[in-house]
DNA sequence: GCTTGTTTTAAATGATTGATTAAATTTTCT
DNA sequence: AGAAAATTTAATCAATCATTTAAAACAAGC
């Protein structure tokens, strides 16, 4: 008759399992059975709580897109911090978040690619015209600011995307890789500055 | 009784269609029917010429991995060119190749991620210990060369991965984007040098 | 403890998809 | 032309998968 309180609700268990499996395997690589199994629940419960695989996916996807873009947008669209502070903040916080969620970038990039409509206007509107853009434009009015922002994001995100290759090549073990990425927190602001000061 | 010469063989038609569909949708997102349709051929022909979806995929995947890694390895493992020449060569040739094959990077990264075993030793062996690595190490013995090579590849590859986002955000139209990427052929060697000269 | 509404389970259903088959057609060689 | 081989087609199979159903288990209020 009424909602009972458990340690964690079935609905939330399903969502959590869906987050894990969808981000790891993508929409088409995920079977609803994988999610039920990951959640330790009966398969029919997925359709009982969420009407379909698509609906459940949509919920997870919106969350993940917000996670991927939200932090970087908030950090870059801050009136109160300087350009330099922004770069170090993004390098520090964003790298930490990506290390904790290594499946996130490829998931977001893949799913936007096979269905750009997923990318809500709510997010896209905030990406352009951030304070960061204005500040960059003051320092280098001669140049397309997209080059710089893409350089920054490239240097942060790409190594995370490339980790499976780096592992497979045997270049680094997982522990080493993490140290390597954390090193970049310090280095990226330095590199970014030298790029910025190159005329 | 014997192989006949046609304008293009059925086998090659299937392979070409498989290249297109697999690189666009990945293994799990591709239905064998999609490939047959793309090739304008009957579904049964796929299993007649290639024994299964997996086998056909494997052929395409090996080709694509070679395309993705082969060029950059050849350019970087050349005894006869200087470090600077290598950077400009990679920026020029690799960007051209990626512009012609925009689906390639995300395909390779995704498929290696969900099945690292796909990544053959033949390729992985060549990636490390290229001449480029040795040359970089001479210039900056104080620093992990992986930082530099990843910076270079990041700046080249990531914007291609991000194109669907850039389009969706409305930041650039397709023509603009291409011009933007081509601009980077000139800029990346400059940036890379300033990174390299930063102590 | 009985009723009522909710949650969970097991089983089934129907659609999709990779793979096979057998017959038909075309090509190749003599 | 005619036999043999290769290619193509349509029909079908078998497995997988998302979704539905119906009944069972459970909780809450009286």
pLDDT of residue A179: 98
Q: What is the mean pLDDT of each run of 10 residues along chain A (199 residues)?
A: 58 97 98 97 96 96 95 94 96 98 98 89 75 92 93 97 93 95 97 89
> Chain B residues with CB inside 8 Å of A171's CB?
127-128, 146
pLDDT of residue B8: 75
* CB proximity list for A42: less than 8 A, separation 6 or greater: A36
Q: What is the pLDDT of residue A1?
A: 38
pLDDT at position B123: 75
User: Pick from A145, A126, A138, A128: which is nearest to A192 by CA?
Assistant: A145
User: Are residues B108 and B72 in contact, defined by beta-carbon separation less than 8 angstroms?
Assistant: no
Nucleotide with minimal C1' distance from the CA of A30 is D17
Mean pLDDT in residue range B169-190: 96
Q: What is the dihedral of CA B174, B180, B185, B191, to 10 degrees?
A: -140
What pLDDT score was predicted for residue B7? 58
Residue A199 forms contact with B (CB below 8 Å): no
User: Does A150 contact B159 at a Cβ distance shorter than 8 Å?
Assistant: yes
More confident residue, B9 or B110: B110
pLDDT at B124 > cutoff 80: no
Q: What is the pLDDT of residues B57-107, one digit of tens each?
A: 999 999 999 999 999 999 999 999 999 999 999 999 999 999 999 999 999
* DSSP secondary structure, A94-139, as one string: IHHHHHH-TTHHHHHHHHHHH-GGGS-HHHHHHHTT-HHHHHHHHH
pLDDT confidence of residue A9:
87
d(CA B79, CA B60): 31
**Hey, of B23, B195, B199, which one would you mutate to test binding to chain A, going by the most A CBs within 10 A of its CB?**
B195
- Residue A44's pLDDT is what? 95
- pLDDT value of position B2: 37
- pLDDT at residue B4 tops 70: no
> Across the interface, do B161 and A197 touch by the CB < 8 Å criterion?
no
The reply to whether residue B144 touches residue A169, judged by beta carbons under 8 angstroms, is: no
Give me the pLDDT at residue B199, please: 72
What are the tens digits of pLDDT across the range B93-115?
999 999 999 999 999 999 999 99
Q: Report which of residues 51-90 in chain A place their beta carbon less than 7 angstroms from any atom of strand D.
A: 51-54
SS3 label, residue A62: helix
Distance separating alpha carbons of residues A131 and A134, to the nearest angstrom:
5
Residue A155 and residue B151: Cβ atoms within 8 Å? yes
Which residues in chain B have Cβ-Cβ distances shorter than 8 Å to A167? 116
pLDDT of residue B127: 72
The CA distance from A117 to A108, in Å, is 13
- In this prediction, residues B149-158 reach a mean pLDDT of 97
| Nucleotides in C strand less than 7 A from protein CB | 4-11, 16-22, 27-29
């Amino acid at each position: 008759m009424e909602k009972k309180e458990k340690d964690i609700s079935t609905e939330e268990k399903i969502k959590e399992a869906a987050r894990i499996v969808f981000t790891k395997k993508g929409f088409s690589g995920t079977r609803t059975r994988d999610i039920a199994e990951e959640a330790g629940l009966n398969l029919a419960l997925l359709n009982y709580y969420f009407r379909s695989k698509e609906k459940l996916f949509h919920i997870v996807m919106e969350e993940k897109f917000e996670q991927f873009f939200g932090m970087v947008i908030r950090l870059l669209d801050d009136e109160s911090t300087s350009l330099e502070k922004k770069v170090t903040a993004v390098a520090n916080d964003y790298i930490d978040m990506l290390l904790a969620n290594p499946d996130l970038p490829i998931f977001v990039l893949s799913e936007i690619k096979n269905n750009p409509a997923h990318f809500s206007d709510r997010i896209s509107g905030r990406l352009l015209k951030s304070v960061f853009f204005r500040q960059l434009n003051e320092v280098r009015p001669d140049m397309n600011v997209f080059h710089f922002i893409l350089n920054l994001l490239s240097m942060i995100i790409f190594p995370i995307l490339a980790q499976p290759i780096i592992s497979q090549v045997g270049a680094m073990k997982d522990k080493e890789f993490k140290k390597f990425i954390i090193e970049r927190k310090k280095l990226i602001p330095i590199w970014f500055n030298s790029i910025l000061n190159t005329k």
